[in-house]
C-alpha cells in the first residue's frame, strides 16, 4: 500500500487543477520556498496508526495527511470555491475531513494559507 502522502499527492495531481502550480510531499524545497508567485500544495503525514481493536488486536489502520495550500500572492481565484473542491475530491476518495483550519495570512510572505487534515480508514486485508 502506498504511503498516505503519496496517495494524497496522486489524488491532487490526478485532478489536474489549473490553479495549483506545484504539489510537494514532506517539505517545500529551499530553492522555491520564497516564491510567492505560485500556488503550492504541501502534503505531510498527520497520522499513521492501528485502529479498530477487537480480541486484543487491531482490525484496521488509520492514515492521515496535513494538506497546506499556499496561495500565490496576487491570485484572483476564489479561495472558498477551490477549498470546497479539494474537500469534495478527498471525500469522494474515501477520506474524511478531520479538521479545516481558518485561512491565515503569512506575516512574512503576505500569502494566504489554508490547512486541512484528512484521514482515511483502512479495514481488512491487513
Render pLDDT for 12-44 as a digit per residue (tens, 0 to 9). Answer: 999 999 999 999 999 999 998 889 999 999 999
Instruction: Output DSSP code: residue 101.
Output: P
Residue with the larger pLDDT of the pair 34 and 111: 111
β-pair type (22-25, 112-123)? unpaired
Place of cell 522555491: 32
Q: Could you read off the pLDDT of 69-95 as tens digits, one per residue?
A: 999 999 999 999 999 999 999 999 999
Q: For the domain with range 4-123, which CATH number is right: 3.40.50.1440, 3.30.70.1700, 1.10.260.40, 1.10.10.10? A: 3.30.70.1700
Mean pLDDT of 94-114: 95
Pairing of strands 104-105, 112-123: antiparallel
Distances (CA, A) of 78 to 29, 43, 50, 83, 85: 26, 21, 38, 9, 11
Amino acid at each position: 500500500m502506498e504511503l498516505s502522502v503519496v496517495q494524497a499527492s496522486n489524488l491532487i495531481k490526478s485532478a489536474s487543477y489549473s490553479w495549483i502550480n506545484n504539489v510537494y510531499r514532506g517539505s517545500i524545497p529551499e530553492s522555491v520556498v520564497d516564491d510567492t508567485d505560485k500556488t503550492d500544495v504541501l502534503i505531510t503525514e498527520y497520522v499513521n496508526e492501528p485502529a479498530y481493536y477487537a480480541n486484543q488486536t487491531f482490525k484496521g489502520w488509520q492514515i492521515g495527511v496535513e494538506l497546506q495550500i499556499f496561495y500565490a500572492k496576487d491570485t484572483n481565484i476564489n479561495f472558498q470555491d477551490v477549498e470546497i473542491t479539494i474537500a469534495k475530491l478527498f471525500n469522494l476518495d474515501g477520506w474524511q475531513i478531520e479538521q479545516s483550519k481558518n485561512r491565515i495570512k503569512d506575516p512574512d510572505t503576505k500569502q494566504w494559507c489554508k490547512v486541512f487534515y484528512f484521514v482515511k480508514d483502512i479495514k481488512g486485508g491487513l
